[in-house]
Structure 1
Amino acid sequence: MVTRRRQRFLHGQIAWMLSTLVLLAVLGALSLDLYFVVSLIGFLILVELTAPFNIMPQWRSRLKWPILLGLVGFAAIVVKRILEILPPGLI
C-alpha cells in the first residue's frame, strides 16, 4: 500500500527531474552527465528534507541502495572528467 508520504516523495522527485530537464534544455546545457548529477543532488536533498524524526518506514530504509548507486555513478563521472582534463601522456 502506497502511503501519502511515499507518494509525496515520488511526486517531488518526478517534479525535480522534469524541471531539471526543462531548465537544462532551455539553457542549452543538456547533457546526460549534468542531468544525472543535478537529479542526484535533488534526490539527496529530497531524502533529507522528507526524513521522519521518530520512526523509519521500511521503504525509506531501502533508499540506501539508490543513494549508493548514485554516488558510484557520480564518482565515475568525476573520474571521467578528471581524465579528460589531464594531459594525454600523464597516465
Structure 2
Amino acid sequence: MPTRQRNRFIISQMAWVMGTILTLSVLGALSLELFFVVSLIGFLIVVELTAPFVVTPTWRRRLRWIIALGLLVFGYIVIRRILAILPPGVL
C-alpha cells in the first residue's frame, strides 16, 4: 500500500509534468527534447523537496537509477546540440 509520502511524490511529479506540457504548448515550444529536459529538472526538484530527513524508504533508493538514466540522456541531448551548433569540419 502506497504511503502518504509516495503519494505526495507521485502527485507532485504528475503536476510538474502536466504543467510543463501546458506551458510549453502555450509558448509554442513543445518538443520532445525540451519536454524531457524540463521534466528531468522538475523530477530532481521533486525528489529533493520530498526527501525524508531520517530514514530513506526502499522505493526512494530506486530513484537513483532513474536519476542516473535521466542524466545520461540529458548528456546525450547536450552533446547532440553542441555538435549541431559547431561548424562542419571542426571535429
TM-score interval (norm. to shorter) = over 0.9
For normalisation by structure 1, the TM-score amounts to: 0.98
User: Which residue of 1 is the match for residue 24 of structure 2?
Assistant: 24
Identity score, percent? 63
Large movers: runs of 4+ above 4 Å: none
- Matched with 1:43 is 43
Question: How far off is 1:89 after superposition?
Answer: 1.0
Matched pairs, number: 91
How big is each residue's C-alpha offset from its partner over 1:47-81, in whole Å with a ceiling of 9 and x where there is no partner?
A: 00011111011110110010000000100000000
Cα deviation, 1:13-57, whole Å, max 9, x if unaligned, reads: 011001100100000011110000000000000000011111011
Counterpart residue identity of residue 80, structure 2 = K
Alpha-carbon distance in 1 for matches of 2:11, 2:30 = 22
SS of equivalent to 1:30: coil
- In the alignment, structure 2 segments of 5+ residues that lack a partner are none
Q: Under a length normalisation based on structure 2, what TM-score does the superposition of the two structures give?
A: 0.98
The answer for the alignment partner of 1:59 in structure 2 is 59
Secondary structure, aligned partner of 1:16: helix
Equivalent residue number for residue 72 of structure 1: 72
In the aligned structure 2, how far is the partner of 1:30 from the partner of 1:88? 28
